[in-house]
Amino acid sequence: MARIETEPSSTQVAEEYSGSVEHVKPASFLLRELVAHLRDNRTQLREEWARRITEAKLLTAMTKDEIFAEATSVYDNYVEALETGTFEALQAYARNLSERIIPRGVETREVVGIVLLLRDVLARSLFAKYQADFTKLNRILDAYEPAANRIANTVAVGFVQERERIIREQQEAILELSTPVLQVRERLLILPIIGVIDPQRARQLTEQLLRGIRMNRAKVVVIDITGVAAMDATVANHLVQTVEASRLLGATVIVTGLSPEIAQTIVNIGVDLGKMNTVGDLQGGIEQAEHLLGYKVVPFAEAS
């Protein structure tokens, strides 16, 4: 019996998948056959895959049930991506999956590993099915391989991007926590700096302080650098800039706690000390700040 088939040539199929990320032409005839095969054999292929994951000692941070549950989702999303030729759903799933498993300690090599294993498991089943017809096997692989590669790529990149996003967030959180801007009186802020100030931290510090001045309507800021061991000329300049920028917002800055080394650096780089209001220690700085703001602190006995 003759069957009329319009099988696209291999180059046509390849072209379909070399398009942009977003949308690619829907399944060709071969692809539909491929997808049908993957769907029909879903149960055993998925099990085979989960078995190989365990064998390769991947995803050790997760339980067998969890692996199986994720394997099911990944498998279904994989076949869906193959069928529709669109990868947005897969990208979204990859990001979602990454968000969930990164806190569990799953590493990039594991994620790339399991996706490649799935690719292998599915390829082997195709070899098994079409081994009698080499030409057809080739055509099926022409349809399968570019898509499978794209999928592996999408999942791996999604995972890495999610990791990078988390690292960036954590870095920002650490930076902000490390330089708290504290209000100790009406219109008076204290910025205690501890540790090493590199140019990035200096910049972040300045931005945080300026925002704090605006939010708290501060008129005086005491920047205490007792906890800063050393400062190079670049950072000293950043400090001077912070003082000047604060002034533009109407706030006076008092710098306290300069160590002998830092005092020397500042003199050496020729900073105009006339502009820098400095006091020996934090206590002195707060007292001067209160004076500037018109406060006078007296013991209860005196006040009555």
Q: Is 106 in the site for another protein (CB under 8 A)?
A: no
Distance in angstroms (rounded) separating the CA atoms of residues 212 and 78: 49
Specify the residue, 249 or 269, whose C-beta has the smaller distance to another protein: 249
Q: Is 291 in the site for another protein (CB under 8 A)?
A: no
Least Å distance, CB 234 to another protein, is 13
Which SS3 state, helix, strand or coil, does residue 23 take? coil
Binding flags for another protein, 181-220, as an x/- string (CB under 8 A) = -------------------------xx--xx-xx--x-x-
Interface stretch with another protein, choices 46-54, 116-124, 141-149, 247-255 (CB under 8 A): 247-255
Compute the least distance from the CB of residue 300 to another protein, in Å.
Answer: 30
Q: Is 251 in the site for another protein (CB under 8 A)?
A: yes
23 vs 214, which CB is nearer to another protein? 214
Smallest gap from residue 214 Cβ to another protein (A): 6
- Identify the CA nearest to 117 among candidates 63, 169, 165, 67: 67
Structure tokens at 109: 């090599």
Q: What's the residue count for the chain?
A: 304
In the complex, the smallest distance separating the C-beta of residue 209 from another protein, rounded to whole angstroms, is 9
Least distance from another protein to the Cβ atom of residue 250, Å: 4
Q: How far is the CB of 155 from another protein (least distance, A)?
A: 39
**Position 100 contacts another protein (CB under 8 A):** no
Q: What is the number of other CB atoms lying within 10 angstroms of the CB of residue 90? A: 21
Q: Does 248 bind another protein (CB under 8 A)?
A: yes
Using the contact rule CB under 8 A, the part of the chain among 62-70, 103-111, 130-138, 241-249 near another protein is 241-249
Neighbours of 153 (CB within 10 A): 13
Q: Which is nearer to another protein, 231 or 243 (CB)?
A: 243
CA distance 13 to 139: 9
- 118 touches another protein (CB under 8 A): no
Q: By C-alpha distance, which of 244, 235, 228, 288 is closest to 266? A: 235
Q: What are phi and psi of 270, to 5 degrees?
A: 75, 30
Rounded to 5 degrees, φ, ψ at 286 are -65, -40
Element (H, E) at 47: helix 42-55
Strands 182-185 and 188-194: antiparallel
* 261 sits near another protein (criterion: CB under 8 A): no
Phi, psi of 215 (to 5 degrees): -65, -40
Interface residues toward another protein, by CB under 8 A: 206-207, 210-211, 213-214, 217, 219, 241-242, 244-251
